Structure 1
């Protein structure tokens, strides 16, 4: 698909399928178990109908806002994503540079394929760092110190990674660490020579955010490293300890419950990040947009609230902000763009989001991000209690 025919983020999703072997595109597009939550994220956003207004002066629409005192050109940031290297050798630095040009923020994943230090050079003032509470507190302490040395001012704590679920698409392709794909996938990879060439000659695919004896962790070492370091007993006490030691801003990601949101603020969180990992971790939970209003109410203005999960249109950004999110975040759309055309494609993805957001703001008669509120919704289609029928298993 030629770039001039790319007019939506969905176009980038379809284009990425042409550039990636199926085992890699399935890894990117797939979710946990029946993928119910993954589909619900998009469906529930789409179900919210917007209220069109007429004869409103929309000649000067501004998409500018701020998060934690940092100015943004639009209320959209990049969610943390692990292993971007398998989609394109530009990896995290390419997406980070595109975020800088778009006036946005890139959140570097604790499970990234390249180091935090490398990304900090690409986006020195537009970078947040995700961290995990590893089993060995020294590993966590070292990473926090690395973030501090790299000039990072905001940490994003992964609060929902103690448990995990099967991603059955990946299991069918043998995507363990190291990967053991079936023969059919080797043949399929051979039909994608561009991806194969980049894989053979480009950036080495490492678990490069961590090292062993000063060298990046190799892919075939990931399982043993994770088995040794994964922490299934992290608690709020560890969050509180980090809060006492970290003088910058602190955000907790993976909040899907109002009680947890209130606790996060009580423990000193500057931001509450509503996220269900895009449906990749835990299935049969609500869409993020459905729990957002209750979390905003629980936070009660004491911290900022952000949301990801299903953000595919500028309209989705407007809906999230109108329901109380300070900003929305997207992950997969930027990975689709990266896989399709590297850094320039990611830049274009930001442009598409911005243009669609401005269009939505014009139709609902709002000329600033701060003016977006629940008055933009058609009232009989506004968010309500989640019904069981909302989470069907259709494909």
Structure 2
């Protein structure tokens, strides 16, 4: 599908399959175990209906919003995504540049394909950095110092990665570290010569934030590094320690329970990032939109709240904000676009979502993001069940 015929995020999802081998599209689309949570994210969003209003003056409709004191052109932020290099050699830098040009924010993943220092000059003050608690505290401390030196003002804590996930699509393709794909994947990969060419001639597939002997981690070195540094013992004491070390904004990602949300705020979190990793980590948990109202109630205005999980349309953004989110985040939509056409495609994906969000705001009769509240929902939702 040519880029000019792409008019939706789902178009980019389908188009990306023509550019990526099947083992990579399954990695991108897949979730944990039976993928119940992956499906639930979309199903719960689709089930919510919005209330159309008529004869509203929309001549001064604006989509800008404020996140942690910073103004952005729309309440949509790029969620942290690791291994973007396997989709396109433009990797994090391409997505970051497109995000900045769209007036958005880019969150650099702790498992990114390129180093934080490479993205920082591109993203500037629109850069947030994800940090993980490693077994060797010097690794975590070193990354915090690097973030501070790069001018980062907001850290995003990976709060729910202590347990390992089981993604059966990946296991069937032998996507371990290093990968051991079956013969059929060599055949299907051979049918994507453009991807092979990019892989051979473009940016090498590495974990750019970390190194062995001064060199970025190669994919076949990740198991060795993780065996040494993974920290299943990370807990609230580590978060409290980080709060003492970091005088900027602190957001915690992976919150799915109101008790955890309240605890995070008590420990000094400035932002609560509701996320189930798009269903990629723990299956059989609720959709993010379903837990949003209870977390909003628990936080009670003491911190900002962000949500990802299944965001594919502008009206999804209206639904999340209507239930109390400050802004939404999305990952897969921009990965689909990156795989399809690099930075220009990511920029177009932003425009698609921006235009859809603006249209949805008009239909529900709101001219400012701050006006979006429970009144945007149709009565058939029995919205009192959510709040």
What TM-score range do you get, normalising by the shorter chain?
over 0.9
CA–CA distance in 2 between the matches of 1:240 and 1:60? 44
**SS at 2:124 equivalent:** coil
- Deviation at 1:141? 0.5
Distance 1:122 1:278 in 2: 27
* 1:164-183 mapped onto 2 (5 Å cutoff): 164-183=164-183
Structural mapping, 1:267-306, within 5 Å = 267-306=267-306
Residue of structure 2 in register with 1:357 after alignment: 357
Helix, strand or coil: the match of 2:329?
strand
Alpha-carbon distance, 1:164 to partner: 2.1
String of CA shifts for 1:29-75, please: whole Å, max 9, x gaps: 00000000011001101110000111111122100001001110000
Question: Counterpart of 1:125 in 2: which secondary structure?
Answer: helix
Q: Report how far residue 383 of structure 1 moved.
A: 4.6
Taking the aligned partners of 2:66 and 2:89, their CA distance within structure 1 comes to 31
1:261-272 aligned at under 5 Å gives the runs 261-272=261-272
**Helix, strand or coil for the counterpart of 2:71?**
strand
Distance apart, 1:380 and its partner CA: 2.6
Between the two proteins, the alignment pairs up a number of residues equal to 386
Q: 2:64 is matched with which residue?
A: 64
Following the alignment from structure 1 to structure 2, what is the Cα–Cα distance between the partners of residues 214 and 153? Answer: 26
Q: Which residue of 1 aligns with 2:229?
A: 229
Give the aligned partner of residue 50 of structure 2: 50
Residue 189 of structure 1: aligned partner: 189
Tell me the equivalent position of 2:121: 121
- Tell me if the contact between 1:32 and 1:282 (Cα under 8 Å) persists in the aligned partners: yes
Tell me the equivalent position of 2:94: 94
Counterpart CA distance in 2 for 1:385 and 1:173 is 41
For the Cα contact (< 8 Å) 1:45–1:289, is it kept in 2?
Answer: yes
Distance across 2 between alignment mates of 1:314 and 1:385: 23
CA distance in 2, matches of 1:97, 1:382: 41
Q: Is the 8 A contact 1:258 1:294 kept in 2?
A: yes
Structure 1 position 224, deviation (Å): 1.2
Distance in 2 separating the partners of 1:33 and 1:357: 32
- Aligned partners of 1:150, 1:384: CA distance in 2, in Å? 45
Shift of 1:155: 0.2
The answer to whether residue 200 in structure 2 is matched with residue 200 in structure 1 is yes
How far residue 214 of structure 1 moved from its aligned partner, in angstroms, is: 1.1
Q: CA deviation at 1:209?
A: 1.2
In structure 2, what is the equivalent of residue 392 of structure 1?
none
Counterpart-to-counterpart distance in 2, 1:43 and 1:169 = 21
1:319 aligned partner: 319
Determine the structure 2 residue equivalent to 1:381.
Answer: 381
Compute the displacement of 1:384 (Å): 6.2
Tell me the SS of whatever aligns to 1:366: coil
Q: Provide the residue aligned with 2:29 in structure 1.
A: 29
> Structure 2 CA distance, aligned partners of 1:365 and 1:295?
26
Q: Alpha-carbon deviation of 1:238?
A: 0.6
C-alpha deviation, 1:321, in angstroms: 0.7
Structure 1 length-normalised TM: 0.97
1:348 aligns with 2:348: yes
Distance 1:93 1:376 in 2: 36
